[in-house]
Chains A and B, each alone.
Chain A
Amino acid sequence: MDRRIFVAGTAAAGAVLTAGTAFAQDAYPSRAITLINPFPPGGAADVVGRPLAAVLEPILKQPVVIDTKQGAAGAVGAQVAASAKPDGYTLLVHIVSLSGFAEVDRIYGRPVKFTNDDFIPIARLIADPMVLLVNDQVPYKTLKELVEAAKAKPDSLLFSSSGLHGALHLPMALFNKTADIKMKHLPTNGGGPALTALIGNNAQVLVSSFAAANAQIKAGKARPLASFGAKRDPSHPDVPTLKELGYDIEFYLWVGLFAPKGTPTEIVDRLRGEVKKAVVTEKFESAIKNLGQDVAYLDQADFKKFWDADAKRVEDAVRTIGKI
């Protein structure tokens, strides 16, 4: 082949391809959008992501599909999203623990596969404050009693969690550090088993989200001692916050929507606008209400601010746990 023809042909092909891309951008979204859910079905990201997908579909006039890529406590899905083509057709729904993976890898001397910088925050959807629970078989009625008991006999109490460095382990680690107490850690393989361990008195303490523990609190099987929110939870006004009790800790089980780094700003802005519309629809609000939560929407700028502060907390918690 003549070199000149080759160059011309390549240029022409390039022009066509560019035109094609430009056209696709005009029409975004021109095909189905995938929301990656990095947790098992029924997890926090799933139960928020599905109603969001359902209300986004009519707004974007394209199918919004949930793709479950579970594994390694949410790291697999995050990695898939981080390496996806940043064209706005692959988005990620992730939770508070997203900020911890890089730090864990650093502590264990493993190559860091992705950091928070690999994701563009689009919106925060919910933020459920965590709550510190004891089961009904231990006598502690207040946080003070629990702390005193733990101080008197270090490592005599057990707390359960959804797994090492998981969303239920991190806040407990922060609290133990701030209160200067020691408890033993009983990791399980999920939020459900962690709650089962608490109720069956195989563990005595658990930090959980209000939503997951509500039924057990109502039945008197689990006693809430303190909330990790900035303010008292409206549905549990008698539960004091850790800040009131003198511990400067906040921790939320939040769910946010992210795009991979490099996604064009126009597309991100379009998504921000549509998500803003979606979260105030009655369908979405009632779906979240049914979960025992409230929509805690934050747009990009506020979410970024919140996320940066939150990442510091998470990294601090991971370092507190350290290498085991």
Chain B
Amino acid sequence: MGTTIDSLLLGFSVAFQPDVLLYAFLGCLVGTLVGVLPGVGPLAGISILLPVTFGLDATKAIIMLAGIYYGSQYGGSTTSILMRIPGEASSVMTCLDGFAMARKGRAGAALAIAAVGSFVAGTFGIVMLTLLAPPLAAFALRFGPPEYTALLVLGLVFLAYMSSTSLIKTLLMACVGLLLGCVGIDVMSGQFRYAFDLKELADGVGIVPVAVGLFGLGEILSTPSRKVQGEVMQPKFSELMPTREEWRQSAMPIARGSVLGFLVGIVPGSAHIISSFMSYAIERRLSKNPEEFGHGAVAGVAGPESANNAASTGAFVPMLSLGLPTGPITAVLMAALMIHGVSPGPQLVTEHPKVFWGFIASMYVGNLMLLLLNLPLVGLFVSVLRIRYAYLYPIIIMFCIIGVYEVNHSLIDVWIMLIMGVVGYFLRKFDFDPAPLVLGLVIAPIFELSLRQSLVMSGGDYMIFAQRPFSAVLFAISALLLAMSMWSAFSKRKDWRVKLSEAEAGTEAPSQK
């Protein structure tokens, strides 16, 4: 413990050097921008700025590039809340309740809660990283394909809690998402599936173009057919901050989201997207008023936004303590370290203590910077809503197209987004919720890969899922959740979803305005 504090002090002595602070700030600033722009993700942001760091030393380079990564998780919620366009794939869930809050004139509150939640979660993540990185890394390594499969099954079980529409509609959307996720090259046999001989579709349908199209473009396309109030929302300044009640409602979701996000984040793979879905589902399951979700529940913003931030910090655990790049973003960060002559590996702490601890310390500082950067920006961002739709929406569409193109530099992605925009329009008209579709698309390819990897490992024996302790536990939780919902189906007490279906059958759904 004492050595940790000493090391951390060494880290802060590096992180507080004025030029290091400057680069941390630059990284956070760029990260916030990258997060705010729909489509342009942290991966694109980091790769664009990678050459800029060639002239810097390793510490400054990694501090700046990491700042882009975790900074983007802050900014990702902004467009989700204001315009229902996910700035990042991991901000999809925030579109649901964040935008609903904005509709009620609580955009400022939603933005502030997202920023504070991100700060708490980010800081929690770093504390855990500081204290527990080595044992956590060992845990992460035991998370092989069977465990990952089990985690994704749990994610699928949570699907039922995802949406504000009826269960049938939710599952229908999820199935479409899972089918879309099957597009692309078969990882085991190399066969093309549903790809129409387009090499661009070999890696499947991207999450970003689908999410931006379904949510953002779909929303924009459906606006002219709705009655738009002539006056655009003009929140008063005093209404920008959350009320005491809203703070109270978001406290526990932030705490739960932080822990859940961090645990999911250290698992190898692109788990940070799943963490926000899971957090949303858990908050809804635990909530006393699950029917509020989708119509502006504060917890629906606080939980997922905290979870994705904690997860982005958690992803550093295997990278820093084992030198293993477990996802595309950590791979770029590791490449950046290598270009500067620091080879990340199990000995990073002992060989380059200044780089390691300077980096950790800079994340404490960076998270504080991001909070100070984002809270004042709330007022500025909210005033975006004052712009008339006639001017605002074409600009947003332009940013959507640029952002989606930037992810893979692929025109096919832009077409996918445009098609999904039209699909999103009709889904909105018929009151289907696109969130389960996106989750299905996220889960399908990784679920398939890890399931088939597990079966390769066991020689086709499904018992491997029961033999490995972590996967057995996760499967048991899934089974328990399913049993619980069976119970409530048989018991007399009406589930909120049943009530919802009845309400839909009777009167108009409350979401339609």
Contacts and interface: CB of A to CB of B under 8 A. Distances in A.
Contact of A72 (B202, B268, B325): B202
Interface stretch (A15-23, A47-55, A124-132): A47-55
A186 B199 contact: no
Given A113-B199, A164-B187, A197-B144, A50 B51 contact: yes
Interface string B171-207: 0000000000000010111111000010110110000
B203 A219 contact: no
A287 B190 CA distance: 35
B13 interface: no
Given A41-B47, A50-B50, A108-B190, A193 B268 contact: yes
A221 B346 contact: yes
Contacts of B326: 192-193, 196
Contact of B338 (A75, A219, A292): A292
B452 to A, nearest CB: 9
Contacts of B235: none
B345 interface: yes
B51 A189 contact: no
Interface string A25-53: 00000000000000011110011001101
Contacts of A191: 331
Contacts of B339: 47, 50-51, 287, 290-291
Contacts of A215: 323, 343-348
Interface string A65-79: 011111111011001
Interface string B289-305: 00000000000000000
Given A104-B190, A192-B326, A216-B323, A79 B343 contact: no
B285 interface: no
A86 interface: no
Nearest to B406: A68
B334 interface: yes
Contacts, number: 168
A282 to B, nearest CB: 13
Contact of A192 (B46, B141, B331, B341): B331
A187 B187 contact: yes
A68 B409 contact: yes
A202 B144 contact: yes
Contacts of A324: 188-190
Contact residue range for chain B? 35 or more
Nearest to A291: B338
A14 B145 CA distance: 62
A41 B50 contact: yes
B407 to A, nearest CB: 10
A159 to B, nearest CB: 11
Contacts of A214: 343, 345
B328 A196 contact: no
B183 to A, nearest CB: 13
A223 interface: no
A66 B54 CA distance: 15
B428 interface: no
B449 interface: yes
Contacts of B189: 164, 324
A185 interface: yes
B457 interface: yes
Contact of B141 (A110, A187, A188, A200): A200
Given A40-B328, A76-B200, A290 B191 contact: no
A229 interface: no
A88 interface: no
Given A42-B331, A196-B318, A76 B345 contact: no
A283 to B, nearest CB: 9
B331 A40 contact: yes
B456 A216 contact: no
A184 B325 CA distance: 23
Interface in A203-232: 211, 214-216, 218-219, 221
Interface in B140-155: 141-145
A68 B47 contact: yes
B341 A290 contact: yes
Contacts of A287: 54, 339
A165 interface: yes
Contacts of A70: 408
Contacts of B347: 215, 218-219
A199 B322 contact: yes
Given A41-B43, A215-B344, A71 B457 contact: no
B200 A187 contact: no
A73 B184 CA distance: 12
A68 B46 CA distance: 13
Interface string B203-219: 10000000000000000
Nearest to A69: B409
Contacts of A221: 346
Contacts of B200: 71-72, 76
Nearest to A72: B202
Nearest to A79: B199
A192 B202 contact: no
Contacts of B331: 40-43, 190-192
Interface string B400-413: 00000000111000
A289 B51 CA distance: 17
A42 B338 CA distance: 10
Nearest to A290: B341
A51 B197 CA distance: 34
Contacts of B456: 158, 184-186
A289 B340 CA distance: 10
Residue from the set A43, A70, A200, A211 with the largest chain B CB neighbour count within 10 Å: A200
Contacts of A155: 459
Interface in A84-124: 104, 108, 110-111, 113
B222 interface: no
Contacts of B318: 196
Contact of B324 (A76, A192, A202, A291): A192
B403 to A, nearest CB: 15
Interface in B301-327: 318, 322-327
B221 interface: no
Contact of A42 (B188, B190, B335): B335
Interface in B112-157: 141-145
Given A72-B202, A215-B346, 17 more contacts: A40-B328, A41-B43, A41-B332, A42-B335, A46-B335, A50-B51, A69-B410, A104-B190, A185-B456, A187-B453, A192-B324, A192-B325, A196-B324, A197-B144, A200-B144, A215-B347, A287-B339
Interface of B: 43, 46-47, 50-51, 54, 141-145, 185, 187-192, 197, 199-200, 202-203, 268-269, 318, 322-328, 330-336, 338-341, 343-348, 408-410, 449, 453, 456-457, 459
The 5 closest A-B pairs by CB, nearest first: A215-B345, A42-B335, A192-B325, A72-B202, A41-B47
10 contacts: A41-B46, A46-B335, A50-B54, A72-B200, A73-B202, A76-B199, A76-B202, A186-B145, A199-B141, A215-B346
